[in-house]
Each structure stands twice: as C-alpha cells, then as structure tokens.
Structure 1
C-alpha cells in the first residue's frame, strides 16, 4: 500500500496523530460550514420552474441548471478534493469559498440561460469545501468516535441540503430567483471570514506530484473492493434522491397540487428530518458495522418510492415519502463514508474523492433522467425510476465486491 502514496514523507506505519484537539465548538463550526456551503448546490431546485418561465424554456431544459451544478461538484470531487492530501486544507477551502461567492454573484446577474448554466457549473466546482472538512474531521477525531463525529458534521451538511430548498423556495416566491443567489454570495463572504479566524491549519502528509496523486486514485479504486462498492451504492442512492428533488417542484406546480416554489421549498424542511438520522447512523456504524446501516437505509429509500408511487397524489403520502427517502439515503451515506475513512487513514481526501465522484455522478444522472421521465411519463414514471435506482443500490450493497 505504501506504493499508492508515492511520498517519502509518509511512513508505512500509522499516520501521525493530530496536533489539534477536535472540540465541540469546532465540530459545530464544521457542521455549520458544511451546511451553508453545500446549500449553494441546491438553492436552484425549488427555483427551476421560475427560471424556466423567466428565460422562456421548458421544464426539462430548466432542470439542466440543477444538473450543471452537480456536474461542477463532481468535477471538483475528482480534480480538487484530492489536493486535500497534498496542500494545506484550510487555505484550499478559503480559496474555494472566495470563488463560490464570485460565481454566485455571476448567477444572480446572469443575462442569459447559458450564462446561468455556466455559472452553475462553477458554483458546483467551488462548493466542495464539505468534502475537505470531512476528512479533516475524520483525522482529528478519536477512532472510537469517528462515526459519531462524522455523523454530527453530516447533520449540518444534510440540514443545509434540505433547508436550502425551504429558504430558496420562500425567497424565490417573494423576492425572485435572482435574490437567492445574491444572498448566498454574501453568506459565503461572511463564512469565509469566520473560518479564516477559527479553523485550524491541517498540514498534508502526501509530498508527491499532482500526477502521482491522481494516479493513486486509480490504484485505490482498483485495489479496494469496499471503496468501489461504497461508490456504486452511494451513486445509485443519490441518483434516486436527485430524481425526486429535481422533479418535485414541477409536480407541486402541476394541476395535481398547483403550489408555488415556497411550498416546494417547504418540503426541504420536512426532509430535514433525515438529518436526524445522521448521528444515529454514525453510532450504528461504529457499533454494528457500516453494512447493517447501509442495508437498512437502502430498504427505507426503496419503501419511500413505494409510498410516493401509491400515495404521492395525496399530501400526506408525499410527506411520508419525503421523510423515508431522506432518512434512508442519508443513513446509507453516513455509513458509507464511515467505512471508507477507515480504509487508508493517510489518504482520506483521495478515498473521499473516489466515493463522492461516484456519488455525484449518480446525482447528475438522476437529475437528467428525472427531468426526462417527468416530461414523458409523469409522476408515476418518476417513482418507477427512483425505485429502480434504489433497488439496484440494494443489490450492489448485498452482492458486489464481496469475497
């Protein structure tokens, strides 16, 4: 395994112990940061219908804004996050947040849909800060508490994902879709100042070249079956997750419900119940192993699409389905990350890169496929597609890459 690292500064033994203590206040700051930065990727989802009306384009084309953001995030996972094992993480995160603020301002003032789509790619590219913070937290955390701490930080990230839809739906309905991007840009500048003051420096252990850093991604992927399985399961589940959230605003504004973007955003607040599962999933992964929590989470997500397909035309059924889907997907996600962070401790950023690249590749696929299926097959088609992704995730988690 030492050949994977190709760095003379890294010994064959355990990685050095962290020099900075992970206090409760620092954990909560990391959770807040994860939530506010990752929200940049999801603000657009309740606004898609309004964006489509503004630029006089179809729902399917408007959904490409969500896809573009996720594509940018996936590219950042692949080409930027590995640098967390090579460059000082704090400085890298501050640079990304500065870029995110600029790109959000560009989106707010975009004169054409093409400019908005391009800005959305860049927003995703600059919003990978949580995927640098999580390996940092895993490094600073005691091994026995790693799952719990990662779960707590992920709670902030998940609340950011889901509450962002509530906030953007409300802002979009009352101030217009451009206002949400303006607010987000200001938030990034303020958060950047806070992190510059409070976040500890985190020196890397890898001293090789960028080329050898990227080459090691392929080596890790080919030699670690558990990493491949986690990436496939995560990608398929996030595809199912994105199918729902990309099409929800269209469904709620259809003749079935006739709601506006503020109600679509409110469902993000309902889905935030899933964030409550994050610390519990982390504790379960610590005690019973990640496979158990991943299996339970995948089955919950599959059950969610059964509920959404049979009862989604009724508000109560839609609410129950949202809660089940978010709890299931996030429980599996936390458990997947807990598992990969334990594989090669000195390469956590690169392991997270492989996992999250698979994760957001699935999310991008789900957004594109969801928009297409909604246009041609309606809500029932969306539910069948989501169930298919989830069922595939369950089969992979049970049978793929096991000796």
Structure 2
C-alpha cells in the first residue's frame, strides 16, 4: 500500500475516533449517575462540560494555528484529549470527572485543524468527504462501542481503550503532517488573530449563514442523539445492547459522505436547499406516527442530511480562507 493510500484510509479513521470521544457518554448517562451517586441531570452536565471545552477551544485556541506551526497545536490538543480520557477513567469524584470531560472537549477540536491541512493538499482533494464521513461514522459508532463495551468493561472501559487509540492516532497524524511554516505571521499578535476572526464573521453574510447552518444542524443532531438513549430505555424498554444496535442506523446516513460531492453538485447545489430540506424532514418526523419503524427511517435520513450540510459548509468556508483556515484574515469572495 502506498503512503498516500494509507493516509486516505488512516486520517478519516483517526478523525472519526477523535470525534467519537465527545459522544461515548451519551448512552451512559444512567450508568454514570448510578455508579458515582449523582443525579441524571448532573450526568448530562458532563456532556455540557465537553461542549463548553470544545467551543472555547475552537474560538480561542484553534485560530493560533495560523501563526505558529499547526503540528504544535494539534500535539497540544491531543495531549489535552489523552489527559481527559485518563482522568475520566481514574476519576474518584464528580469534580475530577467534569474536568476530564472538559479536557476531552478541548482535545476533540483538533479535527478541524486536520481537515484544514488536507483541504490544501491537491493530491488529497477528495479526502474531505472521506474525513467528514469518518467523523460521523465515529460519532455514530461511538454510541454502539460504548453501549457494547460497557456491558463487559463497565462505563469507564471505553475511555481507557480510547486513550491508547489516541496515542497511536496522534503519532500517525503528527508524523505525516508537514509544518505550516509558510503560513506564519510573525508580526501578528494573538489578539489580532482573534479580532480578525470576529471581523471576518461580522463582515461577510455568507460566512455567518454557513456558520448558522452548521450550528443549527449540529444542535439538532446533538439534541436528538443526547435524548434518544433515554427515550429508547424508558419508553420502549430497550437494553443497553439494543440501544447500541439502534445507533447503527446512523451509519447508513454517514456513508452518504462518500458521495457528498456528487449529491451536492447535482441535487443540492446550495446549502440553503440542504437546510430547507432538513426543516421539511424534521416537520415530517413530528407529524409521523410514533413507531420504531418511522424513528429508524428518520434517523438514517437525518444523519445523511447532517453529513451533506457539513461537507458543503466545510468546503465553502475553506475556499474563502486562502490558507488561513484557523480564521486569520479570512478572504471574502462574495457570490
């Protein structure tokens, strides 16, 4: 196998496994609350801590990759991720646990930087769809993996397994990533990087629109999968294994990323069409009968649409960045 072929296969897998760390917890809320003696609401706050860590990292940490070597940032993020996984596995109280989950959220933000790097590599021009497919497969597969492994290793087991996988993944990514020394801006301060990021968003309507599409779809996606385990458990009396198996329906939707360029180019030529289709799909889901068959079909279609929107948004936003994927001096090309 050639090196380029290995990268095309390995990078989507690594990105998928990295993103999966954010979602291992979703089928485990009830088990965690019972295990360490906290309420169900407190256990869901652990997921909130991850999201807060992820958002803060994306806003204040990721843009720095435009002015220093991207590999250093990615290495630091994977260090945060591995530390968080370690703390979660060995945690003895809620405070340590919530700190570990926050670090996992920070570390998982390394995925956009990896995508940004390969977006500029012409010999890997089709890898973005594969990476986004790997990310969604990782998210969906994470629920299946944590649901199954929790029956054998306990709810903590998935985190120690992921700890070793992330060590291997980080080593591969850093070894095969070239330094971005050509993008260094030695006279640009950190505050200027953040200010430039904010101004690019305020000045360009298209950027704001794509950000809104991404936020709205991911909000819906996360809300759905955060609550589905509880619904299946309490309303349909599903076991942990059955919930894990149900989550595999989302894999059908994730596979659409492989064909995302063809679909978005011939059917959904704009993000607006994708977004409006998503609204129509949600409206249909509310109106449809409350049955497992309808729920399963909606899950596959919904995940497919989420994937298409994210692939479309990523490509259009990166096309504006002109080498400054972290946000510095975003170049606006109005349609």
Deviates more, 1:317-326 or 1:188-197: 188-197
The answer (yes or no) to whether the contact 2:268–2:274 under 8 Å persists in 1 is no
Q: Does 1:314 align with 2:304?
A: no
Equivalent positions of 1:41-56 (< 5 A) are 41-56=22-37
2:6 corresponds to: 25
* Alignment match of 2:201 (pick from 201, 221, 226): 221
Could you list the per-position Cα deviations for residues 32-54 of structure 1 after superposition, in whole angstroms to 9, with x for gaps in the alignment?
Answer: 22111111111111111111222
Q: Does 1:342 align with 2:319?
A: yes
TM-score normalised according to structure 2 size: 0.89
Q: Does 1:323 align with 2:295?
A: no
TM-score normalised according to structure 1 size: 0.75
* Alignment match of 2:83 (pick from 85, 102, 105): 102
1:269 corresponds to: 248
RMSD over aligned Cα atoms: 2.5
Q: Structure 2: which 5+ residue stretches go unaligned? A: none
The answer (yes or no) to whether the contact 2:115–2:131 under 8 Å persists in 1 is yes
How many residues are matched? Answer: 328
2:211 corresponds to: 231
* Alignment match of 1:40 (pick from 2, 9, 21): 21
The answer (yes or no) to whether the contact 2:133–2:307 under 8 Å persists in 1 is no
Equivalent positions of 1:121-136 (< 5 A) are 121-136=102-117
The alpha carbon displacement at 1:294 in A equals 4.9
Q: Structure 1: which 5+ residue stretches go unaligned? A: 1-21, 354-401
The answer (yes or no) to whether the contact 2:78–2:166 under 8 Å persists in 1 is yes
The answer (yes or no) to whether the contact 1:84–1:204 under 8 Å persists in 2 is no
2:164 corresponds to: 186
The answer (yes or no) to whether the contact 2:62–2:73 under 8 Å persists in 1 is no
Could you list the per-position Cα deviations for residues 57-111 of structure 1 after superposition, in whole angstroms to 9, with x for gaps in the alignment?
Answer: 3333321122211111111111121122122122321222122112101011111
Do the aligned partners of residues 50 and 93 (structure 1) sit closer, same or farther apart at CA in structure 2, a change above 3 Å counting?
Answer: same
CA distance in 2, matches of 1:273, 1:187: 24
1:170 corresponds to: 148
Could you list the per-position Cα deviations for residues 107-128 of structure 1 after superposition, in whole angstroms to 9, with x for gaps in the alignment?
Answer: 1111122321221111101111
Q: Give the secondary structure class of the aligned counterpart of 1:333.
A: helix
